[in-house]
Amino acid sequence: MPATKTLPQCAEDAIETAIDEAADDDPVVLWWDDGGYLREVVENASRSLGCAFRAAEGTPLELRAEAPRDRTVWYVPQARGDDVDWFRDVEHTGGVVEGHIGKLAARCFENDRLQAASIRTAYEESAEGDREQVATTLFRALNGEGGLPTLRGLQTKIVLDGHDDPVQFVLEHGAENLPDDPDDLLQIRDLLVDDGVAAVAGVTDEDELVTRTRRWAVAEWLVEEGLDESLLDADYRPDPGSGLGISRPELQSLLSKVDTGRAGELASVYLDPDARFWHDVLRTYDDPWELADCPVDASLEHELWDDWTRSFREGAYETCAARASTRHRRLETVYGDVPWTRVWEQAVEVANLGHELETWEERGDTTDVVDLYGDVEDGTWQIDNAVYNLIVSGDPEAALPEEHPATATLGDLRASLTESRYLDYLSDLGDLVADQIEGGSPFAGENHAHQFFDQEQEHLQSGQSVALFVVDALRFDLAHELAESVRRELPGLEVDETPWVGTLPSDTEFGKAALTPGSTFSFNVELDDGELVPQRNGRAIDNRQREKLLREDGWSYIMQSEDDASGWSSTRVAYYWNDLDKAGEEELTDFEAVFSDRIETISDIICEKIDRGEWDRAYILADHGFVSLPQSVDIDDIHPPDEAEKVTRRWVAGEDLDADAPGVLLDENAHLGYLDDDTRISALADPIQRFRNQGLPDARFYHGGVLPQEFVLNFVTITQE
């Protein structure tokens, strides 16, 4: 039965009745309110009826301090006591209302007064600490806002501390929040049965009540997603009269309402391996992916993961990527950022990387390794990026319960890709480079870094304001990350990426020297007394000389290690950031995470300076890239040839080197354009080789060889649209 009146209406009725029954024409109505929760209601009702209102703030005797002249309601926020002599005359000539919020609420149900007495009793018999909650529940339900409740709905709210849905209350809050009173627990059980949860009939234990309710709700959602209900125990089959198919399953409704933090807590309830609600049914289910939209059973989660792992090991990478993406989106929508979500997110990356490593030779022309690797849209540089991102994303399975199957499988799958199969890919790619250099050269017709100032002179000498950001060791994929960051931060700019061939050997001194103003034909690399030296106009280029040439060419020269407060106001700025190379050389175990932080930092600097400097054009350039080896790899230390005059980790140089030298021979036949007739370089293409006694044996960060990761560079051009 619904209520017929609100609390304010009942308060007016009570005051009007007291006035009508009073002996005086302008009586005083004395209202005793045990608990004092009706002051606002009584005051508003009094004024609505044209009565003055006075309330006892401390003691009832305050009300006798000044005799009333008109109709007045005296409000006393306490129970009526035996000693009421102070108000005998009021009782004889006026009226008395003994009405706490429980009594007044019961009067709101005129058509069911007998059953409504339970509301008054619930208030009167509640413990002192619970009375305020009961009062709050009654007021919110009967204050006239939002319609009038049913008696049963109000009784439910009282028992459930203001909650009006017993099923969702139990599903969300569990046994810890159920009432201690056995009668209240039985009332909740009966409410659950009335709502279709037949599985709890006869249950008297609170833990069992919660377990069965949750099991029922999970079954309801599974059936919604397509599970044949005949597979379920009879007590757990959805009630045909529950409206399933019209309204959402109870758990789905609940999880759509709770905030993200609470949803994350519920993930640990409904995906807890210790609470496999329908294990016996799901472990024999033919295709668990038919039920993948159901996010609330650990057994289903386990079956999905095991099936996904089998598919991955069978090489069905595209299927694995699609399924992992579907499951990730579903769990993220329901629970937000929780360990279960992050595991599926990484599963997508694992599947994509597996597919890329399996099919990389199909992505482009394997007779042109520069284009194969450096195609901005489809190049295999994306494999490096995928490996990088996978390592940076860590081990999300570590945050899962140990019983989750991902804790035993995901780490091995990740390691097999980033350590074993990625190394195989690097070796195969190195063989391609070696074959192409020995067969003629992959460098003809490409953009070469030492030609940058010559090729871009139209823009560099046009009077436009220009900024150069030269980032040491900015590998192709990291440059792409920077470009994407600029696009997101400054969408009004045009950001283009173009592959360029860096200077070989791909070491800092040669790469930086190549990016120095001067004629294309004045740059060369030659041996000088056993040292391999980069030159402009026959003069060796070092940091000091490069700075001098840039300043003479009108550039403001700024180093990242210096105070860069000055110089940015110039219309031609060259900014050098050296921290990536330094971090790679010094951080031998976890430099991917270090690089992730560095890329974010340099992105902030570039975006800030471009946004505030208002240059017409800006470039992000690199001197060389690098190879990141797996954390555990056996390095093959090889002997440098006796003819080598200069020996480093990844290359040797000499005048008498021949094709028998380890690695790939670079000479005038390589068509690089800057090696003289007497200078020969042999650079290593095999990623696990290095010349003996050079550097640390466990180093993961290498450059100087001839893998595309080291010399195919991504130059980013930023212009005002």
pLDDT in tens, 627-665: 988 877 888 889 999 999 999 989 999 999 988 899 999
Alpha carbon separation from 81 to 32, 99, 281, 517 (Å, rounded) = 10, 14, 64, 100
Which pair of structure tokens corresponds to residue 254?
A: 């609940």
Burial of 703 (0-12, 13-18, 19+ CB in 10 A): buried
Kindly tell me if the per-residue pLDDT of 695 is higher than 80: no
Amino acid at 537: N
Q: Which tokens is 387 given?
A: 């490996």
Residue pointed to by tokens 């969702």: 168
Q: CA 155, CA 540: separation in Å to the nearest integer?
A: 91
Q: Which one is predicted more confidently, 474 or 460?
A: 474
Place of tokens 């993220």: 332
| Average pLDDT across the chain, whole number | 89
Closest Cα partner for 373 from 316, 318, 436, 455? 436
Give the span between the Cα atoms of 440 and 154, in whole angstroms: 87
User: What integer is the mean pLDDT of 269-294?
Assistant: 93
CATH of domain 1-147: 3.40.50
Q: Enter the pTM of the model.
A: 0.81
Among 265-269, 305-309, 632-636, 695-699, whose mean pLDDT is lowest?
695-699
What's the mean pLDDT in 453-478? 89
* Strands, sheet with 95-98, edge to edge from the N-terminal-most edge strand: 52-55, 72-76, 28-32, 95-98
The reported pLDDT for the residue numbered 664 is 94
Are the beta carbons of 422 and 383 closer than 8 angstroms?
yes
Q: How many helices (H) and strands (E) does the chain have?
A: 28, 21
pLDDT at 614 over 80: no
Q: How are beta strands 539-540 and 531-536 bridged, if at all?
A: antiparallel
- Rounded-to-integer distance, Cα 621 and Cα 499, Å: 11
Region 11-20: what's the mean pLDDT?
Answer: 93
Distance, in Å, from the CA atom of 117 to the CA atom of 541, rounded to the nearest integer, reads 97
pLDDT band (50, 70, 90) for residue 682: very high
**Tokens at residue 228, please?**
């044949």
Q: Is a pLDDT exceeding 50 seen at residue 244?
A: no
The pLDDT confidence band at residue 350, using thresholds 50, 70 and 90, is very high
In what helix (H) or strand (E) does residue 577 lie, and over which residues does it extend? strand 572-577
For the chain, first and last CA: distance in Å? 68
Q: Give the model's pLDDT for residue 246.
A: 45
Strand residue runs (E) in 472-564: 493-501, 523-528, 531-536, 539-540, 556-559
Whether residue 102 contacts residue 44, with contact meaning beta carbons closer than 8 Å, is answered with: no
Cβ atoms 467, 619 nearer than 8 A: yes
Distance, in Å, from the CA atom of 502 to the CA atom of 290, rounded to the nearest integer, reads: 51
Residue predicted with more confidence, 354 or 561: 354
Q: Which residue has the higher pLDDT, 304 or 702?
A: 304
Amino acid identity for residue 582 in this structure: K
* Block residue for tokens 């009942």: 10
Annotated domain spans of the chain: 1-147, 319-439, 449-630+708-720
pLDDT digits (tens, 9 = 90+) for 149-177: 888 888 888 887 777 789 999 999 999 88
Of the CA atoms within 13 Å of residue 457, those in its CB half-sphere come to 11
Q: How is residue 555 annotated by DSSP?
A: P
User: What's residue 439's pLDDT?
Assistant: 83
Strand 651-654 relative to strand 680-683, pairing: antiparallel
Q: Indicate the DSSP class of residue 375.
A: -
Contact 577, 571 (CB under 8 A): no
Mean pLDDT of 480-493: 93
Beta strands in 388-537 (DSSP E): 466-471, 493-501, 523-528, 531-536
- 562 near 550, Cβ under 8 Å? no
